[in-house]
Amino acid sequence: MKSSEKSAVTSVVRSFVLAPTLAAVVTGGVALAVVGPGPAAQAAQAAQAAPARAAVTVTITAEGTDMSGVVSSTRPGLCAADRTVKVFKLVDGEPHLWASDTTSLQGTSWVWSTGNTGTEGRFFAKVGPRSGCRGDVSPTIRVRRNP
């Protein structure tokens, strides 16, 4: 293949990667055809087709060593209902899974509770992402037994 032919093929391949194209080059009896969007265009199309994930907020409060909170969202039926909330205890600055609960509807709020853990320390709650929903991490709180 001559260098001018290689240059033409390279040009076609580059246009395939950058944008949707239909291109054909015939050189020395060999035909090269490229049809459809390239990988970059496919990724851009997928990003545009996926709906934005809804915001989610998880809170944590303590009354003595009972911890509880609320999961709220702009799409509560999808993003707050039946969510698993994991509660982590910070031990020497490292998070350790301590408890978990699934949200349940109380009035108009999706709530969770650990019950009485009997444990003091620094804790935070986390809810992971799910399809169509973001995840969230609560602020860290200090839990102390009631006097």
- The pTM for the full model equals 0.66
pLDDT tens for the chain, residues 1 to 147 = 555 555 554 554 444 444 444 444 455 555 555 555 666 666 666 556 667 899 999 999 999 999 999 999 999 999 999 999 999 999 999 999 999 999 999 999 999 999 999 999 999 999 999 999 999 999 999 999 987
**Nearest one of 63, 49, 71 to 116, comparing CA atoms:** 63
Structure tokens at 128: 């992971």
Strand locations in 20-130 (E):
21-27, 30-36, 56-58, 61-63, 66-73, 84-91, 94-102, 104-106, 109-116, 121-127
